[in-house]
Amino acid sequence: MQKNPFRAATYLLNAHRLDQLPADAGAEIAFAGRSNAGKSSALNTICDQQGLARTSKTPGRTQQIVVFPIDDSHRLIDLPGYGYAKVPEKLRTHWRGVLDMYLRTRESLRGVVLVMDSRHPLREFDRMMLEFSAATGRRALCLLTKSDKLSRGEGARTLLAVKKELATIAPGASAQLFSSLDRSGVDAARSTLAGWLFAD
Ligand code: GDP
């Protein structure tokens, strides 16, 4: 089996503002998603480290950007979970501005992973993130998580429906089923992301 480059990821810092991020050099991939979509679990599964990203017992607790370097010039970025009703409006507006600025200006950003619960894909904020990504010329991969909760037929139908919508919202964005529980789609996701991150 091929070595998993994401196993080398470690925790570096939490940031509340973009100027707290590491210098904008090298290459990084950002993970975004609604609270509770399974973003932390997906990061942990991809990196094969159960304790790396903290899975949220309290949705909405993770209102910060978390940086996970893989080596000196490659990083994974965990963007704040969005869509949690109890986050005050002021903070939501703050993060919307930060995300917009990040996607527009971050030169080392090679692509965005949008984590969505496969039972409720493409909610309002997901669409906004995809539109932001497309408008700023970013690659996007939609991980349709918790696919273990769908039958094979439901999974296939969901994937097809999402791909169809992506063609209009964010042409060029791709999608796949993913489960941190039964690990389906994990190798495919790693391979796509390694291609983005480590290609010259
Ligand atoms: P985050 O808020 O997006 O970081 O979501 P978490 O990773 O903390 O996951 C939210 C909840 O969904 C937790 O209870 C997880 O155990 C559960 N979960 C995450 N991924 C999966 C999965 O692939 N399958 C199933 N069945 N549950 C999952």
Ligand 1 probe mutation, 55, 58, 61, 158, most atoms within 8 A of CB: 55
**DSSP per-residue letters across 75-105:** EEEEPPPB--TTS-HHHHHHHHHHHHHHHHH
**Cα-Cα-Cα-Cα dihedral sign, residues 89, 93, 96, 98:** negative
Q: Domain ranges for the chain, please list them.
A: 5-197
Confidence of residue 121 (pLDDT cuts 50, 70, 90): very high
> For ligand 1, atom 21, which residue shows the shortest CA distance?
146
Q: What pTM does this model have?
A: 0.95
Strand ranges (E), 149-190: 174-177
Confidence of residue 113 (pLDDT cuts 50, 70, 90): very high
Instruction: Tell whether domain 5-197 is in CATH 3.40.50.2300.
Output: no
